[in-house]
Structure 1
């Protein structure tokens, strides 16, 4: 385990050097906007969602606006995000719960966030770390899942297990950072297809490179 931790920390060091200024690419000017944007981003791209929310948040300016919106109208307003029927239902119900149970304020506890429709640990981790600076875990999306498996940091396809494995390897103060770094690396170098192993700064630490 100690050798694995050393390798993980070297991966972290090199990725931080390669990407010195990583941040969330979704609109996160407020906790409200970040939550809605992150729910919408499932099975979509940040570019698509930012284009959508630049218009959406002019119409829906609060949880109350989403809670009171006719469902079919909301579905049409977020249609470009994909899976819009389910997302609209979750956003509307989540907004209602936040108003009814939390006085319109987004909760700041993991156990409360993951009870909201459409909010799993990934979304909760993103909201807590980005909006409130609370680091309770590691946000695992499709890029983190792919890159961490290729690097041998985990051998699981389960998001919760991947998160646990990464939390065992990296210090807590770096949990948000490693998620951001793996996402960036997955988008720019270690893509799902046509991954650029020969130019990867951590290829000497990657089992895939030697097979």
Structure 2
């Protein structure tokens, strides 16, 4: 894929959604960190349901630490792997209180040293909480990057580095969210909605999915509306 196509792709993403953000609900970097920790192998919807109950009661490292692992479990028991996640959250809160004054560190190394925090989680926090041009490559971004040919790679590390290299600088901070949302709602895993995709003419995926029976292609819909207005 050439630079001109990538530029147009992200220009369209920005025009359609000028201020993208995560679908996880948070109001502080700490709330985001905990939500991302809880989101592994879970949906954002499920995590939000749990944190809506948890955060009004405890939304600081010390408050959750005072709560203890057993009480914390009662708030997150609807989330997959909640036993292990509860232990990681408590351990993370302990480190934040003892080593970082109860604040979420902005250094990648310090973030990745927290229990349950890997490179992807660190990238989400750096990007979403602190506005850094970090690229958290999840399954959605990995799929979209390879399928469209924006930044193909055999593993998430390669895709991450290619995205940081190929995405025009003006779009780097928001690119992570655009790609996730595109993969979550349009360029879905089993049957991408190519017939309803704003970058279908730029995407280099060869096996485009046709529109379902009875549904007009967006380009056809636009032509019909113009004709009716004329």
Tell me the number of residue pairs that the alignment of Structure 1 and Structure 2 aligns.
Answer: 208
**Alpha carbons 1:114, 1:120 under 8 Å: kept:** yes
Q: 1:172 to 1:87 in 2, by over 3 A?
A: farther
Q: 5+ unaligned residues in a row in structure 1: which ranges?
A: none
Worse-matched range after superposition: 139-148 or 170-179: 170-179
Residues 116-195 of structure 1 mapped to structure 2, 5 A cutoff: 116-135=114-133, 137-195=134-192
Moved over 4 A (4+): none
Q: Secondary structure of the residue that 2:56 maps to in structure 1? A: helix
Counterpart Cα distance in 2 of 1:148 and 1:132: 24
Residue deviations 1:9-51 (CA, integer Å, cap 9, x gap): 2211122223334222212211111111111111112121111
1:52 aligns with 2:54: no
Q: Find the counterpart in structure 1 of residue 10 from structure 2.
A: 12
Q: Find the counterpart in structure 2 of residue 24 from structure 1.
A: 22
Counterpart Cα distance in 1 of 2:200 and 2:190: 16
Counterpart Cα distance in 1 of 2:107 and 2:56: 28
1:207 aligns with 2:204: yes
Deviation at 1:181, TM superposition (A): 0.7
Query: Could you tell me the TM-score, scaled by structure 2's length?
Result: 0.82
Deviation at 1:210, TM superposition (A): 4.7
Residues 107-122 of structure 1 mapped to structure 2, 5 A cutoff: 107-122=105-120
Q: Which has the larger radius of gyration?
A: 2
**Alpha carbons 1:139, 1:176 under 8 Å: kept:** no
Query: Could you tell me the TM-score, scaled by structure 1's length?
Result: 0.89
Higher RCO (C-alpha under 8 Å, 6+ residues apart): 1
Residue of structure 2 aligned with 1:79, choices 67, 77, 80: 77
Residue deviations 1:64-111 (CA, integer Å, cap 9, x gap): 122233323323321212111221111111111111111111111112
Counterpart Cα distance in 2 of 1:72 and 1:185: 38
Deviation at 1:169, TM superposition (A): 0.2
Residue of structure 2 aligned with 1:42, choices 40, 43, 50: 40
**Alpha carbons 1:138, 1:167 under 8 Å: kept:** yes
Flag the structure with higher helix content: 1
Q: Secondary structure of the residue that 2:78 maps to in structure 1? A: helix
Q: 1:92 to 1:173 in 2, by over 3 A?
A: farther
